[in-house]
Chain A
């Protein structure tokens, strides 16, 4: 049973990782939190659901939902961050809270407040590997998450725009002086961040079958915890942080009671902030 629970935890954690990466990208770049990120995730899930209901194949609805969520994320940058770039750092924090509530209400208007569910279009194949049971959907989730994570890691490491992102994150002034188009880098980062959240939304809704417009609130908070545990602005840290949280959550439900779950996760969050604010893998500090 332990092995099966470990698999369950990895599966849950992999979507948390995708959300945490989105947070950490924006955090690393602007040193600011995007509170509406969880709601971008929710929107992605609903977009995926709507497309699946139109009988669109999964990979296509995943891509379209990612693009849609990316665009919403760019809108967040445009309306919540850009006009407030010179404002007090709490400005964007509050404006993204408002934008998140807006997204929740828009989703309620479009899809209703009652739970919606993905259609069971394809038979789910099951694979019994010794004591462990894995379904095709779980494999899709883990593989897709892994591909996206490796992809984003390499993207930031190796591509021109990735280099520009890292440069901007390290020192925006210098990057600007050296010819990096800061605005474009920021927009690109928000798009990637939103697209990852959208992918996480679709994958989550796939296995958990049922979504409501308020699903993003908790997922967003969990993503934030994963980011802090991994280290602010640290991509690989966010990946590991998400997995750690997923495994903790599953193990708690398996061996303790669900009532302790949030206590443990947010207690851990608190402990990290108190005693190891740089996280497991170190915070990427901006040189000022």
Chain B
């Protein structure tokens, strides 16, 4: 009997310990996250010219939410996406932002897509004191001008150009280059006119075209004149300020006219299936990126899988079925917000909405060693920190030649 009493005392003690531990735990949970859902806002174009990219970004956000909710949400509370359409224009963007902040009362927002929209919504976000994490909006200085609530989980092209030029020089023994650039598309022009000349000069490479690069316009159908001029210059290699489809025509025409020199550019070269469409002509072309569907990490595999699954139900179609880097950064942005929720002591209590939003902003401002699919946090001006990979076209696809 004595033994029996002893065990029952022990049982009682154990019961108390466990129950008090549980009680402590539940009270801790109740303190950190309240409510039946955690609201994440998405501010992207679902209509207008940015519709395809906006839809992919929304799928990226929802894919992250799917993954997190499958693991039990944040301390048992599921995330929910609230989406408002910017219609690819600034006025609608501001309206959508107000709706997300005031009506849906979201904690933080992923978006917007366009720089032109961000120019209106970033200042408004500061006034409303709510975080926006854009995943595109690559116009220089956008986040810096709108501290502290504006962030861009994206990287500027100059940070990609530098390692690409370094590897390009090493591989092909480049001493002098010529630049051919688009003068219509803003991003391609920026790369061809500003970024590449600076990157080449920084590596001691002579830019033969100087301040007078060979020029064309987006979607031109002929490049004979441009290539004849490039050929006469006879550079060691060619820098491209071009989007993928134009790059394809340029390189093909160069090979037709008998040029054998290698081409290089930065991010936009990855658009438009250049390796598959270009065949032999584009082999050996260099570029760089921060993300690729081929990136062989568990995090990336999880992202691609979750994205593809979600794309079948949210905006299915040929332009959304496979992810690019925009949804990858949107996906990471959600995980960043969730980390801020957990470690920034956010309560999710309706009466704490303002202070919660501020806590998220403060946490993100100091986020430097985040472990996302490809995101590492934000620098002091609110721009993304990322790994850069240099890649080349080999055997009909992009292949990494360096890591970081």
Q: How far is the CB of A255 from chain B (nearest CB, A)?
A: 8
A114 within 8 Å of B (CB atoms): yes
Interface residues of B in 311-370 (CB under 8 A from A): 318
| CB proximity to B under 8 Å, residues A124-179 | 124, 126, 133, 135
Asked whether any CB of chain A lies closer than 8 Å to the CB of B124, the reply is: no
Q: In chain A between 5 and 41, which residues have their CB closer than 8 angstroms to a CB of chain B? A: 5, 8-9, 11-12
Cα A126 to Cα B258 in complex, Å, equals 9
| Cβ–Cβ < 8 Å partners of B305 in chain A | none
Is A250 an interface position by the 8 A CB rule?
A: yes
Check if B229 sits within 8 Å of A254, measured CB to CB. Answer: yes
- Chain B residue with Cβ nearest A2: B228
Task: Output the least CB separation between A261 and chain B (Å).
Answer: 7
Contact present for B245 and A112 (CB under 8 Å): no
Q: Does B203 contact A (CB under 8 A)?
A: no
- Given that A124-B256, A133-B258, A210-B248 are contacting pairs, would A204 and B221 also be in contact in the complex, using a CB cutoff of 8 Å? yes
Q: Is the CB of A253 within 8 A of B226?
A: yes
A4–B217 CB distance below 8 A: no
A56 an interface residue at 8 Å Cβ cutoff? no
Could you say which residues of chain A place their CB within 8 Å of the CB of B229?
Answer: 1, 253-254
Task: Say yes or no: A251-B225 contact (C-beta < 8 A), given A114-B272, A208-B249.
Answer: yes
- The answer for the CA separation of A4 and B229 in the assembled complex, in Å, is 10
A8 neighbours in B (Cβ, 8 Å):
222, 224-225, 228
In the complex, B215 has a CB within 8 A of chain A: yes
Q: A11-B224, A209-B249, A251-B225 are in contact. Are A261 and B217 (CB under 8 A)?
A: yes
Interface: A224 (CB within 8 A): no
Are B277 and A117 touching (Cβ within 8 A)?
yes
Q: Contact size class for B?
A: 20 to 34
Q: Are B217 and A258 in contact (CB under 8 A)?
A: yes
B232 at interface (Cβ–Cβ under 8 A)? Answer: yes
Closest A residue to B279 using CB positions: A120
State A120–B221 Cα separation when bound (angstroms). 17
Taking a contact as CB atoms under 8 Å apart, the answer to whether A210 and B279 are in contact is: no
Min CB distance B230 to A, Å, is: 10
Q: In the complex, what residues of A have CB within 8 A of residue B219's CB?
A: 212, 214-215
Task: Give the Cβ gap from A99 to chain B, nearest Cβ, in Å.
Answer: 22
B216–A1 contact, CB under 8 A?
no
Given A115-B245, A209-B249, A209-B252, check contact A254 B217 (CB 8 Å).
no
User: How distant is the Cα of A259 from the Cα of B219 in the complex, in angstroms?
Assistant: 13
Chain B, residue nearest A137 (CB):
B256
Q: Which of A4, A208, A210 is B228 in contact with, Cβ under 8 Å? A: A4
Which residues of the partner chain A approach B318 to less than 8 Å between Cβ atoms?
Answer: 112
B257 contact set on A, CB distance < 8 A: 133
Chain B residues closer than 8 Å to A5, beta-carbon distance = 225, 228
- Does B399 belong to the interface (CB within 8 Å)? no
Shortest A170–chain B CB gap in Å is: 37
Most chain A C-beta atoms within 10 Å of own C-beta, residue among B216, B225, B257: B225
B289 CB, min distance to chain A CBs, angstroms: 20
B263-319 interface (Cβ within 8 A of A) = 272, 277, 279, 318
**A24 to nearest B CB, angstroms?**
22
B228 A1 Cβ-Cβ under 8 A: yes
Does chain A have a CB within 8 A of B183?
yes
Query: A249 contacts which chain B residues (CB < 8 A)?
Result: 222, 225
Chain A nearest CB from B248 CB (Å) reads: 7
Contact residues in A for B226 (Cβ distance below 8 Å): 253-254, 258
What's the least CB distance linking A148 to chain B, in Å? 19
Interface residues of A in 202-236 (CB under 8 A from B): 204, 207-212, 214-215, 219
Which residues from B are CB-within-8-Å of A117? 248, 277
Known: A210-B248, A253-B215. A215 touches B221 (CB 8 A): yes
A257 at the interface (CB under 8 A from B): yes
Contact status B272-A115, CB under 8 Å: yes
Report the bound CA distance from A210 to B219 in whole Å: 9
**Residue of B whose beta carbon sits closest to that of A215:** B221
Could you tell me the distance between the alpha carbons of A4 and B277 in the complex, rounded to whole angstroms? 27
Q: List A residues at the B interface (Cβ < 8 Å).
A: 1, 4-5, 8-9, 11-12, 112, 114-115, 117, 120, 124, 126, 133, 135, 204, 207-212, 214-215, 219, 249-254, 257-259, 261
- Further contacts, 15 of them, CB under 8 A, given A12-B224, A253-B229: A124-B256, A208-B221, A210-B221, A210-B248, A212-B219, A214-B219, A250-B225, A253-B215, A253-B216, A254-B225, A254-B228, A257-B183, A257-B215, A258-B217, A259-B215
A-B contact list, 27 entries, CB within 8 Å: A8-B228, A114-B272, A115-B248, A117-B248, A117-B277, A120-B279, A124-B256, A135-B256, A204-B221, A207-B222, A209-B248, A210-B245, A210-B248, A210-B249, A212-B219, A214-B219, A215-B221, A249-B222, A249-B225, A253-B215, A253-B229, A254-B226, A257-B183, A257-B215, A258-B183, A258-B226, A259-B217
Per CB-CB distance, the 3 closest pairs between chain A and chain B, nearest first, are A8-B224, A253-B225, A258-B215
